A = this chain, B = another copy of it.
């Protein structure tokens, strides 16, 4: 399994970006490789293509499954496991987005909720408590909004995204709508 220079370029880049996207180099490379290949690949092919150990691939697959980014397929008469991306590019991006929300926002939201329940004891903590409330509200809004986006169909999302510079017009529109009813 030798990669063409161009594909190798893409795969290596995704490896470098991997850690910024919430995983590590190997995993970034693995996603890239799977996405760019029409046919599913075996663990050995992945290891060979990326020049990494078989064990590393196994751990990577496991991680990618926890992100729901790969699926396993089989070829009749062949007992090897073949791996492929779990859905379209759009599906994958959505899952990464969702998973990151879980890791980056949810734990904090839950801590802040608890802290708000406790109330502020000393007057010195009054300001702190206020700031915590503000952060909490912000995170909650983001969470609700992102859940909302997840609920939209890809087509609706496309429409929304493509609204582009007319977003503010839509907001105005919504205001008018509210006033009428």
A residues with CB within 8 A of B: 4, 6-7, 9-10, 13-14, 17, 20-22, 35-38, 88-90, 93, 103-104, 107-108, 111, 115, 118, 121-122, 124-125, 127-128, 131-132, 134-135, 138, 141-142, 144-145, 148-149, 151-152, 156, 159-168, 170-171, 173-175, 177
A89/B131 in contact, CB under 8 A: yes
Task: Report 8 cross-chain contacts, Cβ distance below 8 Å, ordered by A residue.
Answer: A4-B125, A9-B111, A13-B107, A17-B107, A37-B127, A148-B167, A156-B171, A173-B177
Which chain B residue has the least Cβ–Cβ distance from A17? Answer: B108
In the complex, what residues of B have CB within 8 A of residue A141's CB?
161-162
B152/A38 in contact, CB under 8 A: no
In the complex, what residues of B have CB within 8 A of residue A21's CB?
104
From A6, A111, A151, A156, name the one whose CB has the most chain B CB atoms within 10 angstroms.
Answer: A6
In the complex, what residues of B have CB within 8 A of residue A145's CB?
161, 164
